[in-house]
Amino acid sequence: MTDKNAQRVLVTGGAGFIGSHLCESLIADGATVTVVDDLSTGRWGNIAHLQESRRLKVIVATAADQTLMFDAVAQSDLVYHLASAVGVHLIIDRPVATVETIFHTTDAVLKACARFRKPVLLTSTSEVFGKSDAIPFREDDDVVMGATEKRRWAYACAKALDEFLALAHYHESALPVFIVRLFNTVGVRQSGRYGMVLPRFVRQALSGGPITVFGDGAQRRCFCSVHDVVRALRALPFAAEAVGKVVNIGSQEEVSITQLALRVKRLTASSSTIEYVPYEEAYGPGFDDMRRRVPDLSRVSSYIGWQPEEALDSIISALILDMATSEAGRSITSA
């Protein structure tokens, strides 16, 4: 592929948080986009505004449907596979669906890409590094997985299996695959319903109720803007060096979860208190967590010259504005 802007692009999970921003960027640059999304965690509202362009086609269905995927992939030049069960709560509450959906869906997408020889970018996760403490995480580091009896690791293992399968296609038939391991990605349209921490904190702060921090709050994370992530997703399939590779995408600026709660409280000027909830209470017994997760960015920086740009305070402020506006809209409609 040489022309980045005029293509037919298939986005599974395109009605989700990251997928909707990706579709927005593709359409703005002249691409024709087909979304396959079962709306399990995504929302039609995330992409409704893109309908006007007439270059968006939405198929509400599971991307695990092999016949559908053969058809949709055949008509595309590039495939982004984002559809996945996502969010710690969902993973803890519905472990069977997590493993089945992730793996079966990826299998169907990859089979179709292999049949029609279409390049495919898969979104994996920093969870794959498991409990490793080799900070910063390099893509070729060993993974340190938790016990299979602890349900949260089902997500990491299923996504790791996706990576293995994609790389197997690359090694056996030179299918152009691109695997990105996303670290915490944040921005407007992310839902707090499935355990994502930042939108949950913002909603709690705006409502004036307690901001609930799970665990002791000293665990640290790096939050990256969805706009920065989309920039990397757009560029990677055009970087020859990235073919058949795993690539980290994320911020390297660490913040503890308590600090995050305090920043949200300050930026919302909220009177909320900060309360700590033990992991067992939040997620049930035997929950495992990792204290730190920082990406090594050497690969993405050398392949596409990428660095995150948007500062965390500006991402939080945009989210606050968006959530406050939509809350206000809801209360006017229901008044």
Ligand X SMILES: NC(=O)c1ccc[n+]([C@@H]2O[C@H](COP(=O)([O-])OP(=O)(O)OC[C@H]3O[C@@H](n4cnc5c(N)ncnc54)[C@H](O)[C@@H]3O)[C@@H](O)[C@H]2O)c1
Q: What is the DSSP string of 172-223?
A: HH---EEEEEE--EE-TT--STTS-HHHHHHHHHHHTSPEEEETTS--EEE-
Site string for ligand X, 106-145 (x = CB under 6 A): -----------------x-x--------------------
Kindly indicate which of the ranges 8-16, 25-33, 145-153, 282-290 contains the residues binding ligand X, using the contact rule CB under 6 A: 8-16
Helix axes 197-207 and 257-268, enclosed angle (nearest 10): 40
Residues 144-163 that bind ligand X (CB under 6 A): none
Nearest approach in angstroms of CB 24 to ligand X is: 13
Of 242-281, which residues contact ligand X (CB under 6 A)?
A: none
Given the residues 80, 155, 170, 303, the one annotated as active site: 155
Minimum CB separation of residue 270 from ligand X in Å reads 24
Choose, by CB under 6 A, the member of 23, 27, 38, 154 that binds ligand X.
38
**Residue choice 32, 34, 105, 248 for contact with ligand X (CB under 6 A):** 105
- How many residues touch ligand X under the rule CB under 6 A: the total is 28
Q: Are 112 and 70 in contact (CB under 8 A)?
A: yes
> Closest separation between CB of residue 257 and ligand X, Å?
14
Contacts of 71 (CB under 8 A, 6+ apart): none
Pick from 10, 11, 12, 163 the residue near ligand X by CB under 6 A: 12
Report if residue 41 touches ligand X, rule: CB under 6 A.
yes
Neighbours of 24 (CB within 10 A): 21
- CA pair distance 43, 92, nearest whole angstrom: 22
CA 315/CA 227 separation, integer angstroms:
10
Q: By rule CB under 6 A, what string of x and - marks binding of each residue 172-211 to ligand X?
A: ----------x-xx--------------------------
Least separation in angstroms between CB 162 and ligand X: 9
How far is residue 318 from each of residues 58, 87, 190, 329, measured CA to CA in Å? 27, 22, 12, 16
Of 80, 256, 133, 132, the C-alpha closest to 184 is: 256
155: annotated active-site residue: yes
DSSP 132-187: ---SSBPTTSPPB---TTSTTHHHHHHHHHHHHHHHHHHHHH---EEEEEE--EE-
Looking at the Cβ atoms of 44 and 278, the one nearer to ligand X is 44
- Return residues touching ligand X (CB under 6 A): 12-13, 15-19, 36-42, 62-64, 82-84, 86, 101, 105, 123, 125, 182, 184-185
The residues assigned a catalytic role are: 155
